[in-house]
Amino acid sequence: MADIVILDEDNWEAEVLQSSLPVLVDCWADWCGPCRMMEPEIEALAEQEGDRLKVAKLDTDRHPILTQDFCEVDLLPTCLLFKGGTVVARLDGYHERGEILWEIEPHLKRRQEAWTPPTTSLSSEY
């Protein structure tokens, strides 16, 4: 499993505000059914995009000051993408991995896909 950072008041600044990578903050609560349903989607996203994205979780019940002052969460689950310490994308409610990636992709480093030239046959058909 990819590393997912567990956020609190002690590591918020270093892990989110000063991160060199964009940070997807999953705001959740233990009692929230949709949050639980979304957990495998977040884990899969962390695994899939770990080289372009840091994924972090914020327990809204344990850290109400971060939840309200920095994330302005009114609905759970809420995912926020921080880049350069600023929120650049927000997804409220349950979303599948593909939907999350669709929303945050413009803010991530471009993928370095290996380019393969097209295969052509140099036959003497002409």
Cite the active site residues. 32, 35
SS3 121: coil
Q: Which amino acid is at 94?
A: Y
For 40-98, the DSSP string reads HHHHHHHHHHTTT-EEEEEETTT-HHIIIIIS---SSSEEEEEETTEEEEEEES---HH
